[in-house]
Chains A and B, each alone.
Chain A
Amino acid sequence: STSSVLSTEKDTSTASKDSTTEGASKRQEGTAETPKQKLLEIIGNMKVEVSYRKKLQQLKASEKKRQAMNQLEGLDSKGPQRTTEDIQRGKPLNPDLVKAASAVASSLPLDKKQTESELLAQLRRHEETTDKQKKGETINIRNVISEMTVKKQSPAQRGARISSRISLELDEDGQRIRPERFSSQSFDSRSLKVGKRLNIFTKASTEPEHSLKTVSSPTIWDLEFAKEVAAITAQPPRNGFEEMIQWTKEGILWEFPIDNEVGMDDDAEFHEHIFLEKHLEGFPKEGPIRHFMELVICGLSKNPYLSVKQKIEHIEWFEKYFEEKKEFLQEI
């Protein structure tokens, strides 16, 4: 039952994730409880809710409480960075707000837990803003109100998401391929990487990975694996737009609006294209060769298709050619 409770709770929006992360870092303060039990406590705390008016009233009353908590936590040997965050979590929400919250949630026609959690998140944000106000920073309340959005989840979508998580269809390789698609689709409306981390799972130590990478260059097996992963993750395009995106990445389709100078990074000014006489220093100053080269330069200066480098190469080729034929020319 605890797992089902957790799964239903995880269905809530990212706003709830904020509060859970805040509560989870509370755990970091040194409680010996398991993460799951702490999560349950947090969820229990989340049910405490406030109406916006009462929030402000409560805030003024709770400022003093918070200052006291601040002093207490400052005495504890915590880092100064976490004090502001810890304050909000350390402060217990008023039990009077429970009734108000439940009344509000029941009055609204939408999902109860979701609204409760969102209101809780709003409370925390408002606490932050009032903190800032105390410190002297300016705050626009309109911004805070505009942030409040109510998300509607169709029951069919929710059912699909839950069923996708529960499904255990395994491929031959032991990898779930079908649920991958679902998960990628179900999280379209909200991204996975937004919001504070819950820190429920301990991070595997990353140091040996770095040391291994420096030691050996990628082996053939690594290349194969990387190619396999790329082939699997590169799903075929779902619609014409994705197909066009893929083509643009490959270079088959141009980028719009069409830039006529794509691939042509000629940074040279016009005078470098036209006045090419300075490259004629290697040639004799009189004679048919000079006459010939001046004609060459005249033609090059009128050529808009070559880059300056190519023009210089052209002239240098002639220089080299005439150098080789110098003996022959002197015989004449």
Chain B
Amino acid sequence: MAAAALCWALRAARQALPSPCSGQVRGHYVDWRMLRDVKRRKLAYEYADERLRINAIRKNSILPKELQEVADKEIAALPRDSCPVRIHNRCVLTSRPRGLRRRWRLSRIVFRHFADHAQMSGVQRAMW
């Protein structure tokens, strides 16, 4: 019972019902960490322009320093997840934070699995 409750709590739920007529659509990300990473990416995208402009004010030697200090405070006031530095690439399928191949967005284990089953286009075992 307790285990079941824990499992239910641990399940990462993303519910979305775009139209009233379609069936219930629920997507689960692999785990909560992946969900958090997704949130960070979305926020970073939203605030990207503002951060760029405030940083342009901060990082130059022409404008007065007082103005730059004010800009510092402003950028610190933005939501913490909006900075792109907090984004960490994860494996798309297993949410593994390390051992990633950036081109395929997959961890090394998954990449190897697919490559061996000939499901990766143009990928071959190296032999020379």
Taking beta carbons and an 8 Å cutoff, which residues of A are in contact with B? 220, 223-224, 227, 288-289, 291-292, 295-296, 314, 317-318, 321, 325, 328-329, 332
* Interface segment out of the listed B3-11, B26-34, B36-44, B64-72: B64-72
Q: Are A332 and B60 closer than 8 Å at their CB atoms?
A: no
Picked from B20, B63, B66, the residue with its CB within 8 Å of the CB of A289 is B63
Establish whether residues A317 and B53, one from each chain, have CB atoms under 8 Å apart when the complex forms.
Answer: yes
B21 at the interface (CB under 8 A from A): yes
User: Is A328 touching B66 in the complex (CB atoms < 8 A)?
Assistant: yes
* B53 in contact with A314 (CB, 8 Å): yes
CA of A220 to CA of B22, assembled, Å: 11
Q: With the chains together, A295 CA to B61 CA distance in Å? A: 12
Our pick among A220, A317, A318, A328 for the contact of B67 (Cβ within 8 Å) is A328
Collect the chain B residues with CB atoms within 8 Å of residue A223's CB: 21
What would 15 A/B residue contacts be, using CB atoms closer than 8 Å?
A220-B20, A220-B21, A224-B21, A288-B62, A288-B64, A292-B57, A292-B60, A295-B60, A317-B53, A321-B53, A328-B67, A328-B70, A329-B67, A332-B64, A332-B67
Across the interface, name the chain B residue whose C-beta is closest to A310: B49
B56 contacts A by Cβ under 8 Å: yes
Whole-angstrom distance between the Cβ of B57 and the nearest chain A Cβ: 8
Instruction: A317 to B48: give the CA distance in the assembly, Å.
Output: 14
Instruction: Knowing A227-B21, A314-B53, A317-B53, say if A325 contacts B63 (CB, 8 Å).
Output: no
- Complex contacts, B56 vs chain A, CB 8 Å: 296
Within the assembled complex, what's the spacing in Å between the Cα atoms of A223 and B21? 8
A307 to B20 CA separation, bound complex (whole angstroms)? 37
In B66-105, the 8 Å CB interface with A consists of: 66-67, 70
Once bound together, how far apart are the Cα atoms of A291 and B49, in whole Å? 21
Q: When chains A and B are docked, how far (Å) is the Cα of A296 from the Cα of B62?
A: 12
Taking CB atoms, residues of chain B closer than 8 Å to A329 are 64, 67
How far apart are A145's CB and chain B's nearest CB, in angstroms? 53
The complex places the Cα of A289 from the Cα of B68 at a distance, in Å, of 12
* Chain B residues, CB < 8 A from A292: 57, 60, 62-63
- Measured CB to CB, the closest approach of chain B to A317, in angstroms, equals 6
Kindly state the separation between the CA atoms of A224 and B56 in the bound complex, as whole angstroms. Answer: 52
Q: Tell me the minimal C-beta distance from B7 to chain A in angstroms.
A: 35
Top 9 closest A-B pairs, CB basis?
Answer: A288-B62, A292-B62, A291-B62, A223-B21, A288-B63, A332-B64, A292-B63, A332-B66, A317-B53
Given contacts A288-B63, A329-B64, 7 further A-B contacts (CB under 8 A): A223-B21, A227-B21, A288-B62, A289-B63, A292-B60, A296-B56, A332-B64
Which of chain A's residues have a CB closer than 8 A to the CB of B64? 288, 329, 332
Q: How far is the CB of B71 from chain A (nearest CB, A)?
A: 9
Pair B67/A325 contact, Cβ less than 8 Å? yes
CA distance A292 to B49 in the complex (A): 18
Cα separation A318 to B63 with both chains bound (whole Å): 13
- B60 contact set on A, CB distance < 8 A: 292, 295
Smallest Cβ distance from B51 to chain A, in angstroms? 12
Complex Cα–Cα for A289 and B21 (A): 55
Q: Which residues of B contact A220 (CB under 8 A)?
A: 20-21
Q: Shortest Cβ distance from B58 into chain A, in angstroms?
A: 12
CB distance from B31 to the nearest CB of A (A): 28
- Cβ contacts under 8 Å, B53 to chain A: 314, 317-318, 321
List residues of chain B with CB within 8 A of the CB of A332: 64, 66-67
Roughly how many angstroms separate A289 CA and B53 CA in the complex, as a whole number?
A: 14
Please indicate the chain A residues that have their CB under 8 angstroms from the CB of B63 in the complex: 288-289, 292
